Amino acid sequence: MSENLENKAVEATEEVKTQVVVHEEFDWDAYEAGKTAAEVKDKELEAMYDNTLSALQEKEVVDGNVIAMNKREVVVNIGYKSDGIVSLNEFRYNPELTVGDEVEVYVESLEDKKGQLVLSHKKARSLRSWDRVNAALENDEIIKGFIKCRTKGGMIVDVFGIEAFLPGSQIDVKPIRDYDIYVGKTMEFKVVKINHEFRNVVVSHKALIEAELEQQKKEIISKLEKGQVLEGTVKNITSYGVFIDLGGVDGLIHITDLSWGRVNHPSEIVELDQKINVVILDFDDDKKRIALGLKQLTAHPWDQLDTELKVGDRVKGKVVVMADYGAFVEIAPGVEGLIHVSEMSWSQHLRSAQDFMKVGDEVEAQILTLDRDERKMSLGIKQLKNDPWAQIEEKYSVGTKHSAKVRNFTNFGVFVEIEEGVDGLIHISDLSWTKKIKHPSEFTSIGAEIEVVVLDIDKDNRRLSLGHKQLEENPWDVFETIFTVDSVHEGTVIDIFDKGAVIALPYGVEGFATPRHLVKEDGTQVIVDEKLEFKVIEFSKSAKRIILSHSRVFEDVKRAEDRAKKSAAAKTAKKGMQHVKDNLEKTTLGDITDLAALKSQMEEDEKGEN
């Protein structure tokens, strides 16, 4: 048993020796450290594999190749033991990305928890973007950018991962009407401005096409001639005209050159982006301002007007313009006639044209004047009605009564209209028999109906003289018998002014009293609304005037009483004288003296009575 064990030990020893001889490169240090030969071999193979890969570090930017793509991700090979996956959203600015393209990526991590290489294209662009943007500005380089969204005044563009501003005026050479159509598009740009302090970048797409357009513009301008017909595109429409793009050169069609007819707004004739033929009317020396015409491509409507049309003919048309003095009526496109306000009605009363018609009305009128050379026409609509003054004597003869409407006032009377075209004047003195009217507005109002009598007809001046008070008999014929001089009547003070007072008397008549005749018996002045007795001191039927006095009422009574007293005293004195005469023969010297004194007294009394 022991021999067998010894023999086996010897064999094992020999085997070990044999192995030591065969494996001369055996790693005894690893063996002593407890590592097996297999583990050592794996380490060697891993070291050899690592030597075939590029040396990478985290947090750096490297270039890689796109080896695969799908709708969500892009697989990028950067020469590492594993490939990285980048979200397709990070390449949104470059929709033309394909397999095989070289892209830059930022190494986020060589190995995440899943053993995956983590890359970012967005961060790589951002790290290099500022240098690239500055280089693009310095070298006048054309770059690509992705329009992310709209903002106030323009668009936000992703350029190298930087949000740059694209002003609305820099999107295109023509005005932009819909900014939203550019959102999500990738376009070419030029960097036009960088603010280093705030790290703001401004880009322009317009700058790319301006150079090309400038060359086209020079070619077009060099060939411009007056009268030349060109095709253009409606670029912009304003209230005063239309801007036309002639292929890099802009021209203006003024609103008056769009159509021979009336145009309220250019949008009635053209629309945006419409292609039209235009004729060159004029341009400045530098050919920077080009005047274009559209209506000039067609014959003038006046040249095509019916040659049989003449004065007196009736025409129909549409009111296109209104003014206070009249209305312009278009009887054919580009052919207009003026209906003056005086030709709208037979009435002589001043009115506005808007009282008769408005824009858009279809009217029929008669041609009053026609000048084909001057291209002018005047029309009338009142001529389509009978002239009321043709038979005025028969319809409104003197003495006839009618109802009229008050149209206007003057200081001297009232203008009324009996019917359209038939006006008349009521003089202020013909409004009332009894009232003193200072202004017609005290008697009636504008628009009111008033009864009138025709007093006179002035056919040449188309005016009637009318009266209102003549509807009644003249009451002054009766007043003459009532308000006789010295007659006394009760009156009411209705108005007091510097020169006197107006007194209301019975029967609706008024009288006048001066201040000296308004003093009452107690010495005070009369007041408004006070009722007193007044004596007539003057009556004038022709002037329709009654002069009154309150003071005379009590003054005359007093005078009468004084005269009666003096008369009685005189009679007594005369009786005494007769008695003296009868006894004269018997008178003594003393009696004579008394008689002389009595005589003197009687003479003084007689003087006083006179």
pLDDT score, position 570: 63
pLDDT higher than threshold 50 for residue 452: yes
Q: Which domain holds residue 104?
A: 61-126
Q: What is the mean pLDDT of residues 422-441?
A: 84
Q: Which of 221-225, 250-254, 395-399 has the lowest mean pLDDT?
A: 221-225
In a domain, 487, yes or no: yes
41 and 66 fall within a common domain: no
Q: Name the band, by pLDDT with cuts 50, 70 and 90, for residue 18.
A: very low
Q: What is the pLDDT of residues 25-35, one digit of tens each?
A: 555 565 555 55
pLDDT higher than threshold 80 for residue 594: no
Angstrom CA distances, 202 to 12, 199, 482, 494, stand at: 84, 10, 105, 88
- Of 266, 297, 328, which closes a domain? 297
Q: What is the mean pLDDT of residues 148-170?
A: 87
85 and 40 fall within a common domain: no
The pLDDT > 90 percentage for the chain reads 13
pLDDT score, position 536: 92
In a domain, 216, yes or no: no
313 and 291 fall within a common domain: no
For residues 468 and 435, give the distance between their C-alpha atoms in angstroms, rounded to a whole number: 13
For residues 44 and 164, give the distance between their C-alpha atoms in angstroms, rounded to a whole number: 52
For residues 18 and 11, give the distance between their C-alpha atoms in angstroms, rounded to a whole number: 10
Amino acid at 313: D
For residues 427 and 410, give the distance between their C-alpha atoms in angstroms, rounded to a whole number: 9
Taking alpha carbons only, the member of 212, 220, 215, 205 closest to residue 250 is 220
Q: What is the mean pLDDT of residues 102-120?
A: 81
Taking alpha carbons only, the member of 481, 414, 421, 420 closest to residue 452 is 414
Cβ atoms of 128 and 104 closer than 8 Å: yes
pLDDT higher than threshold 50 for residue 4: no
Residue 96 backbone dihedrals phi, psi, to 5 degrees: -90, 5
457 and 413 fall within a common domain: yes
Q: What is the pLDDT of residues 486-535, one digit of tens each?
A: 898 999 998 898 889 999 998 888 899 999 888 888 888 889 899 999 99
Cβ atoms of 8 and 1 closer than 8 Å: no
In a domain, 556, yes or no: no
Q: Name the band, by pLDDT with cuts 50, 70 and 90, for residue 52.
A: very low
**β-strands 422-427, 413-419: how paired?**
antiparallel
**Partners of residue 457 on adjacent β-strands:** 464
pLDDT higher than threshold 90 for residue 290: no
pLDDT higher than threshold 80 for residue 481: yes
Start-to-end CA distance of the chain, whole Å, equals 210
Give DSSP secondary structure letters for 278-312: EEEEEE-TTS-SEEEESGGGS--GGGGS-TT--TT
pLDDT higher than threshold 50 for residue 237: yes
pLDDT score, position 1: 41
Residue 42 token pair: 């794996």
In a domain, 214, yes or no: no
Cβ atoms of 94 and 144 closer than 8 Å: yes
Taking residue 152's Cβ as centre, other Cβ atoms within 10 Å add up to 5
239 and 198 fall within a common domain: no
pLDDT score, position 197: 79
Taking alpha carbons only, the member of 480, 430, 432 closest to residue 456 is 430
Q: What is the mean pLDDT of residues 183-192?
A: 88
Q: Name the band, by pLDDT with cuts 50, 70 and 90, for residue 3.
A: very low
Please count the structural domains in the chain.
8
pLDDT score, position 608: 54
pLDDT higher than threshold 70 for residue 135: yes
pLDDT score, position 377: 92
For residues 65 and 77, give the distance between their C-alpha atoms in angstroms, rounded to a whole number: 5
In a domain, 217, yes or no: no
Q: What is the mean pLDDT of residues 89-117?
A: 82
More confident residue, 298 or 57: 298
Taking alpha carbons only, the member of 112, 53, 116 closest to residue 82 is 116
pLDDT score, position 241: 93
What CATH number has the domain bearing residue 538? 2.40.50.140
241 and 292 fall within a common domain: yes
pLDDT score, position 362: 92
Taking alpha carbons only, the member of 529, 549, 530, 531 closest to residue 539 is 549
pLDDT score, position 338: 92
- Of 384, 416, 443, which closes a domain? 384
380 and 306 fall within a common domain: yes
- Of 471, 490, 514, which closes a domain? 471
The alpha carbon of 199 is separated from its chain's Cα centroid by a whole number of angstroms, namely: 45
305 and 380 fall within a common domain: yes
The pLDDT > 70 percentage for the chain reads 82
For residues 265 and 484, give the distance between their C-alpha atoms in angstroms, rounded to a whole number: 79
Q: What is the mean pLDDT of residues 310-320?
A: 90
483 and 455 fall within a common domain: no
pLDDT score, position 365: 92
Task: Report the chain's mean pLDDT, rounded to a whole number.
Answer: 80
For residues 130 and 124, give the distance between their C-alpha atoms in angstroms, rounded to a whole number: 11
Q: Name the band, by pLDDT with cuts 50, 70 and 90, for residue 21.
A: very low
pLDDT score, position 316: 92
More confident residue, 55 or 50: 55
494 and 545 fall within a common domain: yes
In a domain, 535, yes or no: yes
**β-strands 154-159, 162-167: how paired?**
antiparallel
307 and 320 fall within a common domain: yes
In a domain, 132, yes or no: no
176 and 161 fall within a common domain: yes
pLDDT higher than threshold 90 for residue 138: no
The SS3 call for residue 155 is strand
In a domain, 525, yes or no: yes
More confident residue, 387 or 406: 406
Residue 316 token pair: 């129909």
Residue 409 contacts by C-beta under 8 Å, 6 or more apart in sequence? 415, 439, 440, 441, 446
Residue 268 token pair: 């009635």
Q: Name the band, by pLDDT with cuts 50, 70 and 90, for residue 418.
A: confident
